[in-house]
Amino acid sequence: MLNKNLSQHFNKKSADSSPYVGTSGPFNIPSFGDHKPNYLQEPTALACLKIICNTVSSLPIECKFGGKKYNEYSENLPESVAVLVRKPNEDETISQLSSKVAANLVCHSEAYLQIKTMGAKKGKGGILRSIECIPTKNVTRTKDGKGKWTYGGIDNQNNQIISDEMVRLTGVALDERVVNILQNSSDIFDLSLNGIQSASNNHKRGPKNAGFIQYEDKLKDETYNRLDARLNSLANDDSTGDIVILDKGATFTPNPFNMKDTQLAESLEMSTEQIAMLMGVPLQLLGGTGDSSFKDMNEIRQGFLSITINPIIKAIEDAIHNKLNYEYIIDYQEKDFLNSNYETRVRLGMEMFKLGLVSNIETRATADMESEGLEERFVIESNNNSFGQQEEQQREITNE
């Protein structure tokens, strides 16, 4: 009976007539137009999108211009460089712009930048004035008679787009068309949303008592049929709180999970894994166990950086470099990404150990090393000698 209920459960429609984004709310953004993608309702997809955007926006940017290097804290910062490392336009910071471009590349597999310069001729040369990300819905692309792509549409100030100011960033593409990975995988998001709705409906009906009824002797047909009828009567939604009087000699062993709970949990876990795989986010960053081939968080962060983050920031860097004829060279600083640089972590751990802030065991754990013993030691006073001499020094002090 439970299996039949599960099949009905997975085939039925959601109570909500539309599992997509409504006409209001934080994700009713114009870049999606009339299409309300279901992945902006799915919790795992939202978590992955948040991790990707937050990671890209948190990377500091360094800019090389006129033979000098600048960052957001540099003094005497040229105005054109400030556009790239501080404030790209009137409404955003550089981290906000980076996050928006990353979100467009993840959700649409493409993004459009409007790069304005002063004194430029056909979009080349001149002083950099502003950079904005234009919603994909507002941009049109057509080929002219010479086979060159031209851009039209409306920018963020409701002005006509100047084609020479536009640059297109793409993710996965077969030709001039991009492959929208998330939109083409809508069935996976539908399955997850239906599973969440089904779990919600299931638990709204009240607690489900489950367990095993055991008899020492073999049940007679009459006893079995009577017990079966009693248990089936409890399967109705209106029977919450009813009890079954067990026959003499029967024992009841409770089981915290019933079949429906187990099936729902497995379905949601599978959906989470598939969505995380599609979006290039390791399950460990979402709180899951993930692939056992990753041995520690350092490898997880490095894998996430190389597979997912680097292609995004590389697309942004290349687009700006080419549009500005490499007069401005920007570099997203990912070397200390999420404190994943191994040398930095080891050096920091050693300094903290010398200052007595952490023990020897905590220091080795910071560097993903096994503990050298059960004894936990702290540095009380240090003369900055190498650690290899500590045991010898301790013996000399003891002998004295």
Domain boundaries, the chain: 19-180+280-340, 186-274, 346-399
Q: Let me know: does 153 contact 134? Beta carbons within 8 Å.
A: yes
- Whole-number pLDDT of residue 386: 46
**Is residue 123 over pLDDT 60?**
no
Q: Which of 260, 271, 270, 265 is nearest to 193 (CA)?
A: 271
% residues pLDDT > 70 (the chain): 63
The tokens for 247 are 């026959």
- Whole-number pLDDT of residue 143: 87
- Whole-number pLDDT of residue 178: 87
- Whole-number pLDDT of residue 309: 94
Lowest-confidence segment of 77-91, 204-218, 257-271 by average pLDDT: 204-218
**Is residue 7 over pLDDT 60?**
no
Using CA atoms of 183, 186, 189, 195 in order, give the dihedral in degrees to the nearest 10: 170
**Is residue 320 over pLDDT 70?**
yes
* Mean pLDDT (whole number) for 44-65: 93
How far apart are alpha carbons 162 and 142 in whole angstroms?
Answer: 13
Q: Let me know: does 41 contact 225? Beta carbons within 8 Å.
A: no
Range among 281-290, 366-375, 378-387 rated most confident: 281-290
- Whole-number pLDDT of residue 14: 38
- Whole-number pLDDT of residue 202: 74
Tell me how far CA of residue 226 lies from CA of 145, 231, 232, 395, in angstroms.
83, 9, 10, 81
- Whole-number pLDDT of residue 125: 59
**Is residue 400 over pLDDT 90?**
no
The tokens for 241 are 């709180």
- DSSP-based three-state secondary structure for 127: strand
Range among 89-93, 215-219, 386-390 rated most confident: 89-93
Q: What is the number of alpha carbons within 13 Å of residue 18 lying toward its C-beta?
A: 8
Q: Let me know: does 98 contact 56? Beta carbons within 8 Å.
A: yes
Specify the DSSP element, H or E, that contains 57.
helix 43-58
How far apart are alpha carbons 315 and 109 in whole angstroms?
Answer: 11
Lowest-confidence segment of 23-32, 58-67, 111-120, 139-148 by average pLDDT: 23-32
- Whole-number pLDDT of residue 369: 65
Range among 247-251, 270-274, 343-347 rated most confident: 270-274
Q: What is the number of alpha carbons within 13 Å of residue 311 lying toward its C-beta?
A: 14
How far apart are alpha carbons 184 and 200 in whole angstroms?
Answer: 27
pTM of the model: 0.67
Range among 132-146, 258-272, 284-298, 379-393 rated most confident: 132-146
**Is residue 265 over pLDDT 60?**
yes
Average pLDDT across the chain, whole number: 76
Q: Let me know: does 196 contact 43? Beta carbons within 8 Å.
A: yes
